[in-house]
Amino acid sequence: MTEGSFTPENCVFCAELKEPSRFGSYYPTKWPYEDRIIWRGRHAWCVPGYGPQVFPYILLRTQRHVRSCSEVSGTEREDVFRCLEFLRTSGIYPSFGLTVFEHGGCDPLESCMEHFHLHVVDGSIDLARFVAPLNAEAREIRALSSFNLEGRYLLVGYYRGEGRIDARVVSGYRSASQFFRRALAALNGSIEWDWRTGMNPDLMLRVLRYFRPRIKPSGQGMRSVSTHTTVPSEKVERSPDPPESDSTAGVVR
């Protein structure tokens, strides 16, 4: 990692937040929507993950440019939990529970984005088993509780609501690049784990189409969608209907 690399000016996530349509320039083929933002609050937002290995696969990010979860403020974590609850109750995750993971304090030379983000997959996927042999520490993460870690770490946890993540953390572990994506590949019986290959673009589109069922892709009469403001709460039509929730306040359509 070079001196000064951790800056908003050269961060792909910050660039996408500032100009959401930029994602189309990263995508290997023509992206059929104006952007890919699913939900946006005051301090956090989420998008379909690039190079997904499973469905659904969503990335949750802070708006402020920080390196890891340990640097996220309590106010920002409150928004992170609002986004997690929105995703959990949206109906897209079959178990209505979420498995989240983070490669904390990672090195961008190892293909990691140096801007805090949680990977969010279905709660039925057990990734905690992969850190059990590494003397993982049990941690409970809440919005306003302290979560201080120095340097690099691995974090995997389960969110079922109730305002907390039941996590397992391995501190100071210099893992192989994309540790948990390698674990996902092992569970899937696959050799594909590197997000940079842009694998499974159809799964990205499935996620976005779930949250935007009434929007036609660009070039087919798509209406303009603002991604710079929070959309007032409204019921989203899906089939089958998920359980009702009041956490749709930030959904972008």
| Digit-coded pLDDT (tens) for 114-160 | 788 999 999 999 999 999 999 999 999 998 877 777 678 899 999 99
- pTM tops 0.75, yes or no: yes
Pick from 180, 172, 176, 135: nearest CA to 152 = 172
Helix (H) or strand (E) holding 154: strand 153-159
Residue 100 · residue 120 · CB < 8 Å? yes
Rounded distance between C-alpha atoms, residue 211 and residue 207, angstroms: 7
Domain positions in the chain: 8-211
pLDDT in tens, 211-235: 987 555 544 433 333 333 333 333 3
Pick from 133, 123, 34: nearest CA to 84 = 123
Residue of higher predicted confidence among 216 and 20: 20
Model pLDDT, residue 71: 86
Q: What are the counts of helices (DSSP H) followed by strands (DSSP E) for the chain?
A: 5, 8
Does the pLDDT at position 28 exceed 50? yes
Does the pLDDT at position 98 exceed 90? yes
**Which CA distances in Å does 202 have to 38, 77, 114?**
16, 31, 26
Residues with Cβ within 8 Å of 154's Cβ and at least 6 positions away in sequence, in order, are: 101, 102, 103, 104, 131, 134, 136, 169, 170, 173, 175, 179, 180
Task: List the single range of 29-43, 93-107, 212-226 with lowest mean pLDDT.
Answer: 212-226
Does the pLDDT at position 52 exceed 80? yes
Q: Enter the tokens of residue 182.
A: 């390698």
DSSP 187: H
Helix (H) or strand (E) holding 40: strand 39-40
Q: Classify domain 8-211 at the CATH topology level.
A: HIT family, subunit A (3.30.428)
pLDDT in tens, 191-208: 888 887 878 889 999 999
